[in-house]
Every structure is written in structure tokens, then in C-alpha cells.
Copies of this chain bind each other. A is one copy, B any other.
Amino acid sequence: MLNTEKLLSKFNPLTAEVSGAPTVKRHLHDLRGCFADAAAFEKAAAAGNPLLYQVAVVEPANGDGDLHYGVGRLMPGKIGDEYFMTKGHLHSWRAAAEFYFGLTGEGVMLLEDEATGESHMVPLEPNGVVYVPGDTAHRTMNTGKTPLTYIGVYPAKAGHDYGAIAKNNFRCLVLERGGKLAMIERK
């Protein structure tokens, strides 16, 4: 059996902190290439390098049947008409799925089938659960005015692959059009 410290963790749903767990932080400059409006990005990046999101990761064990979870916090804001977002990733083990549980704030997830490009925009809200199937690129966006926090649970052996998205980005983008949320194809 694991020791007691690994059997229990406590998260803060507002700050996304987990006692004793490492936290990954991504700032605006880390997201270069993700936003469609390059001029708006460069203007914002010249003005500063604010924290966009952070994820605390809990990894009790690493066997075939083990699970990990992360607690994320994505700040509100926009670059041009596009909402603050995570880099997005595929799982290195493509079959690995993931559940996202919304904790606070309002957001959406963009899901893209790696093989077909089929895309879905799914709300991420408190008491709502988004299923990310295997073989599906996924990115989170904060569409509200307060921090968006959420939990993601995935197989320990999933792994994170950022390479494909860094190269080609997602096929679609999510933005505000006339005061409404819209998913459109990238030009």
C-alpha cells in the first residue's frame, strides 16, 4: 500500500493549489503562436508577461492502472477577440481519455479529433463534466470574468504531447462575435 501522504490530497478550488504538489505555470509569452490575432498578441506581450494559467499535479503512482489528476486555474482575459486559453495537448498514449470537472468560473473546452479534425466546443462549468475521448486534442478557454478552475483526471501513463499543436494549432478558434461565443474555422 502507498504511504498515507499519497492516499490523501486536498485542493483549494479557488487558487487551484494542492498542498505538497508541484505547480506548472504558463505566462503570456509561453503562448506565442496560439492566438490568431498576432498583432494583438505582440502588443499585449510588449506590455508585460502576466500569468495565464497554472496547474497543480497529483501523481500518487505510475502503474498501468494508476491515475493522476491536475487542478487548473485559467485567468480571464482576451487577446483580440479570442479568450485566454491553455496551450492544449494530445496524450502521448493516444487511447488515454480524460474527465474535466468544472469547479468555479465559466469556460469551454475545444475538442478536436486528431484524425478527422472534427471539432466540438463544450461548456466547462461548476458541476459539469467534460469527457475528452482518446485521440482528441483538447484546450480550455476562460469565457467569463473570473478565474476558471477545474480538475482533470487521466490515466497515469497518458503523457502530454504538445508538439502537434505547437506545429499546426487547432483547426478552430473560439472567440466573441457580437457579444456571443462562437467557434469558427481558422483562416
Contact = CB atoms under 8 A, between A and B. Distances in A.
Interface of A: 1-2, 4, 6-13, 58, 60-61, 63-67, 69, 91, 93-99, 101, 111, 113, 116, 118, 120, 122-123, 127-131, 133-134, 136, 151, 153-156, 158
Given A120-B4, A133-B61, A153-B153, A9 B128 contact: yes
Given A136-B1, A153-B153, A131 B8 contact: yes
B13 A65 contact: no
A57 B116 CA distance: 29
A37 to B, nearest CB: 28
A1 B7 CA distance: 34
A99 to B, nearest CB: 6
B12 A127 contact: yes
A4 B96 CA distance: 19
Contact of A111 (B7, B67, B69, B91): B7
A93 B7 CA distance: 20
A63 B155 CA distance: 12
Among all A-B residue pairs, the 5 with the closest Cβ atoms = A65-B95, A65-B96, A60-B131, A1-B113, A153-B153
